[in-house]
Amino acid sequence: MTRVDFYVLPEGAAPMRFACDMAARILADQLNVHIHADSRADAVALDGMLWTFRDISFLPHALADDRTPDPAPIIIGWLGQAPTTDAVLINLSHELPDFAGGFRRVIEPVAASPEARAESRERYRQYRELGWELSSQQMDQDQGHANL
């Protein structure tokens, strides 16, 4: 059964930054990650962030449409791009991806804005209707970034 974890971020914490931190943590556990964005432009912005979000480390990653013979452990996709792993999905999209059920774990960062919270409540309802295991964690200011 797919497990879905909602992380309610504090005011000022960026979901993309949180996704970078979470991807680093998941990669340290030797699992593959698919980060799902709303658009290729968002995916490219996240790609740039993964190169620079930490001074002393690099996270091996690629965009879903990169044509490399060896797939990276972190793939950044967007609407219309099929995932290449089934381990962990970090959903940065405003909607529930139709392929989410193919993952063992889904991570849903929730921004502090009222719109983002309303969208996440709708996704929570959809996941609950699917019968998936759900959890929610309120992050404090320190946890909203690198110290997960």
Average pLDDT for 20-35: 94
Task: Please state which CATH number belongs to domain 3-138.
Answer: 3.40.50.10110
| Predicted confidence (pLDDT) per residue in 74-95, tens digit | 999 998 887 877 789 999 999 9
Q: Rounded to 5 degrees, what angle do the CA atoms 16, 17, 18 make?
A: 90
Domain extents in the chain: 3-138
pLDDT at site 1: 83
Q: Which residues contact 40 (CB under 8 A, 6 or more apart)?
A: 63, 65, 78
- Is 126 buried (19+), middle (13-18) or exposed (0-12) by CB count in 10 A? middle
Distance CA 35, CA 106 (A): 10
| Predicted confidence (pLDDT) per residue in 101-110, tens digit | 999 999 999 9
Kindly report whether the global pTM for this prediction surpasses the value 0.75: yes
